[in-house]
Structure 1
Amino acid sequence: MGFSLAGLLRLRHLEEEEAGQALARANSRLEENSAREAQIRRKLGGGDDDVASVEVLRAVAAARASSRSMLAELEAVGRSHRQAADEARAAFSAARTRSKGLERLEEKHDLAVAVAELRTEQNALDEIASGARTRSEGAEGWR
């Protein structure tokens, strides 16, 4: 007898796989954003260049202001990516929990089926053995 919830278990495994892929994508986006953020922080923390004129000083100031603005945007995006990764992690955990519950039910079912099959086989062997004993006792009486 097959596991009656096998279709549901396959569905749960698919859901778990999809949740795992979503988690991997969310983690990847988070890592990419963190790398970009670190790169901008390094550029902002770079040494002061020798400023030869007021125009160069203004250009450096504008570039730093732009970088700081970009960094603020990346930090906001990073928070969003962290939240998405946390939600994806929770979804994966929930999907895994649902799969595990059904897997345990399947294991119990398989064990019950195996026990029933062994019991049936043992009963058949016992019946064969008792029939052979009865025949041999009957054959001895004929001698």
Structure 2
Amino acid sequence: MPRQFPLAGLLRLRQLREDEAAGSLAAANERLRASRARTDGISDALDGTDLDPAESASLYAVAAARASARSTLADLHALEAQLQADQERAQDHYRAARAATVGLEKLETRHRDTEATALLGAEQRVLDEIAAAGRRQHTGKDRT
């Protein structure tokens, strides 16, 4: 019976960490995508306003609204930069977790191959013994 991979527990832990890192990366990607969509929406709204105010009060209101929208847009750009940095950290964390897992997965594959080779070798020895016993038995019957 093949032996269990001695580092199976550590491999499972690393796989769990990799899964956790993948989840964090997916969440960071989604937050970044949502932020970019909001930023694009406000940019489009700013570009799409084509007002020609007739009175000075209307002009001041439009200027204040545009200034407010630009301020909001600047805040969103700052948030997007922060989210981009978070996404890059999550990507690095995932890559490190994946690299740690891959090394152990290769060791596990090598262990399985070694165990399979040993099992096949043991089966072949049993078959050789059976064949040799059959030949001895067959050779012994021919002499009598």
Q: CA deviation at 1:55?
A: 1.3
Partner residue in 2 for 1:62: 64
Q: CA deviation at 1:122?
A: 0.5
Which runs of structure 2 are paired with 1:1-143 in the superposition (5 Å)? 1-142=3-144
Partner amino acid, structure 2, of 1:57: L
Q: Secondary structure at the match of 2:48?
A: coil
Q: CA deviation at 1:34?
A: 0.6
Q: TM-score, normalised by structure 2?
A: 0.94
Structure 1 distance, partners of 2:31, 2:138, is: 79
Structure 1 distance, partners of 2:75, 2:34, is: 14
Structure 1 distance, partners of 2:49, 2:9, is: 62
Partner amino acid, structure 1, of 2:47: G
Structure 2 distance, partners of 1:23, 1:107, is: 27
Structure 2 distance, partners of 1:19, 1:63, is: 41
The gaps in structure 1 that reach 5 residues or longer are none
Structure 2 distance, partners of 1:97, 1:32, is: 29
1:72-120 CA-to-partner distances (Å, cap 9, x unmatched) read 1111101000000001111111111111111111110100000000000
The gaps in structure 2 that reach 5 residues or longer are none
What is the root-mean-square deviation in Å for CA atoms of aligned residues? Answer: 1.0
Q: CA deviation at 1:52?
A: 2.4
Q: CA deviation at 1:48?
A: 2.6
Query: Following superposition, which runs of at least 4 residues in structure 1 exceed 2 angstroms of deviation?
Result: none
The alignment-based identity, stated in percent, is: 45
